[in-house]
């Protein structure tokens, strides 16, 4: 057999290989590569002691108070993150495509912060607020193993009043609820959610040495005093509420991190709290700082929270189980807060600094 066909094939092989390499190169150019998250430390002339995100009561008050005229330049208040410490305060806003720092007086900030903790509430523990309804923990105590706790969940609700030319105090209806026999409320701020068109309050409980659970308080009528515990979970490692929201696109849920570092999603209904997906290796700290944030996405929401044992922030998808799809290394562990500001994440670090993060590699 002549070797001419083999020689012809030898000429074809290099051309085929070159065509394949060219096609691969074009594919790589055409296929977008996921950008690495970008971290920038903000220039602040003070160490941050506390932080509040855009959805908190204090940040909303700052955005509407006239403290900074720039915050009311448009029709709607500008979302802000508020930070402060012993030597100053600052409002963080998005300006010209990046996070900008606007100094404010610490005293003005602390005057607004005072309203977060009503009279009778556990010291330093914020209330939950949604329209006319507020809920907070009261009755300061400790569990049998010395952990700070509360005996009572208190509800306060502003009542409608007739229009009058005479100044009158707004009537307030107050109700209280205990955690149940053998249980106390954990020193973890309660959360107000809407279930079946009515308000409900989710709170964490202590039920024994390193044990606790969740309770759901609802009311079946418009009577402001008709609050009752309508659902509770079985006792397990002590949980802390990380966030509430529609994580799966199927209705209101909650995310908790327990004392073992286990992240759990829960489905909420007026008469039940059902456990869902779980994943290990996370933390939201032991203080009152908000170290978890929901990130709305199509069909649900992601969750941003610190990784246990390492200075990093995890972005966890919650739409189909729990799947970590990004991890951002931080200059120090998260300590004073984690909050979304537009497409940026603001992280208050444990050493008093503040980092701004973009997950798509843009300028923070």
Phi (first) and psi of residue 151, to 5 degrees: -90, -20
Q: Note the pLDDT of residue 32.
A: 45
Whole-angstrom CA distances from 58 to 64, 116, 142, 286 are 10, 7, 28, 21
Query: What is the Cα–Cα distance from 30 to 35, expressed in whole angstroms?
Result: 15
Q: Tell me the pLDDT tens digit for each residue of 34-84.
A: 578 999 999 999 999 999 999 999 888 888 777 777 665 556 778 899 999
**Which of the four pLDDT bands, split at 50, 70 and 90, describes residue 151?**
very high
Per DSSP, what are the bridge partners of residue 354? 348
Q: Is the pLDDT of residue 3 over 50?
A: no
DSSP assignments along 31-98, one per residue: SPPPPPPEEEE---SS---EEE-TTSHHHHHHHHTTSSGGGGSSSSPPP-EEEEETTEEEEEEEETTE
Q: Is the pLDDT of residue 237 over 50?
A: yes
Contacts of residue 92, Cβ cutoff 8 Å, sequence gap at least 6: 42, 80, 81, 82, 83, 99, 100, 101, 102, 341, 346, 354, 356
**Which of the four pLDDT bands, split at 50, 70 and 90, describes residue 191?**
very high
- What the block records as the tokens of 175 is 């109700």
Instruction: Give the mean model confidence (pLDDT) for residues 225-249.
Output: 93
Q: Note the pLDDT of residue 14.
A: 45
Q: Note the pLDDT of residue 264.
A: 97
DSSP assignments along 225-239, one per residue: T--EEEEEPPPEEPE
Q: Tell me the pLDDT tens digit for each residue of 288-316.
A: 899 999 998 887 889 999 999 999 999 99
Q: Is the pLDDT of residue 28 over 90?
A: no
The separation between the first and the last C-alpha atoms of the chain, rounded to the nearest angstrom, is 69
**Which of the four pLDDT bands, split at 50, 70 and 90, describes residue 24?**
very low
Q: Note the pLDDT of residue 36.
A: 85
Nearest to 251 by CA among 278, 274, 221: 274
Contacts of residue 235, Cβ cutoff 8 Å, sequence gap at least 6: 207, 208, 211, 212, 213
Nearest to 188 by CA among 259, 253, 111: 259
Instruction: Give the mean model confidence (pLDDT) for residues 113-129.
Output: 90
Average pLDDT across the chain, whole number: 86
Rounded to two decimals, the pTM is: 0.86
Q: Note the pLDDT of residue 296.
A: 86
pLDDT over 90 for what percent of the chain?
A: 60
DSSP assignments along 106-170, one per residue: HHHHHHHHGGGS-TTBPTTPPPEEETTEEEEEEEEEE-TTS-EEEEEEEEEEEPP----SS--PP
Kind and range of the H or E run holding 215: strand 211-218
- Specify the length of the chain in residues: 364
Neighbours of 217 (CB within 10 A): 23
């Amino acid at each position: 057999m002549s070797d001419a066909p083999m020689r012809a094939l030898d000429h074809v092989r290099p051309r085929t290989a070159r065509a394949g390499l060219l096609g691969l190169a074009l594919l790589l150019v055409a296929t977008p590569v996921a950008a690495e998250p970008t971290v920038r430390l903000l220039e602040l002339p003070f160490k941050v002691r506390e932080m509040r995100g855009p959805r908190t009561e204090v940040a909303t008050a700052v955005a509407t108070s006239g403290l900074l005229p720039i915050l009311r330049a448009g029709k709607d208040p500008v979302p802000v993150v508020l930070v402060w410490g012993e030597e100053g305060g600052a409002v963080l806003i998005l300006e010209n495509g990046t996070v900008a720092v606007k100094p404010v007086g610490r005293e003005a900030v602390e005057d607004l912060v005072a309203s977060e903790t009503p009279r009778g509430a556990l010291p330093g523990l914020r209330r939950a607020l949604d329209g006319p309804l507020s809920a907070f923990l009261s009755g300061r105590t400790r569990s049998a193993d010395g952990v700070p706790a509360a005996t009572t969940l208190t509800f306060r609700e502003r009542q409608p009043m007739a229009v009058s030319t005479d100044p009158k105090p707004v009537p307030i209806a107050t109700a209280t609820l205990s955690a149940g026999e053998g249980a106390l409320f954990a020193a973890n701020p309660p959360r107000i959610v809407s279930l079946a068109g009515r308000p409900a309050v989710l709170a964490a409980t202590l039920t024994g040495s390193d044990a606790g659970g969740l309770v759901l308080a609802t009311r079946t009528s418009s009577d402001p005093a008709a609050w009752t515990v309508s659902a509770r979970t079985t006792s397990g490692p002590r949980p802390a509420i990380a966030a509430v929201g529609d994580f799966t696109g199927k209705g209101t849920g909650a995310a908790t991190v327990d004392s073992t570092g286990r992240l759990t999603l829960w489905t909420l209904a007026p008469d039940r709290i059902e456990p869902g997906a779980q994943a290990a290796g996370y933390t939201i700290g032991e203080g009152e700082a908000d170290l978890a944030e929901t990130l709305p996405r199509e069909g649900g929401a992601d969750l941003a929270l610190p990784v246990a044992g390492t200075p990093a922030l995890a972005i966890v998808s919650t739409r189909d189980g729990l799947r970590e799809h990004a991890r951002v290394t931080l200059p120090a562990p998260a300590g004073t807060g984690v909050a979304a500001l537009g497409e940026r994440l603001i992280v208050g670090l444990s050493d008093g600094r503040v980092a701004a993060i973009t997950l798509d590699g843009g300028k923070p």
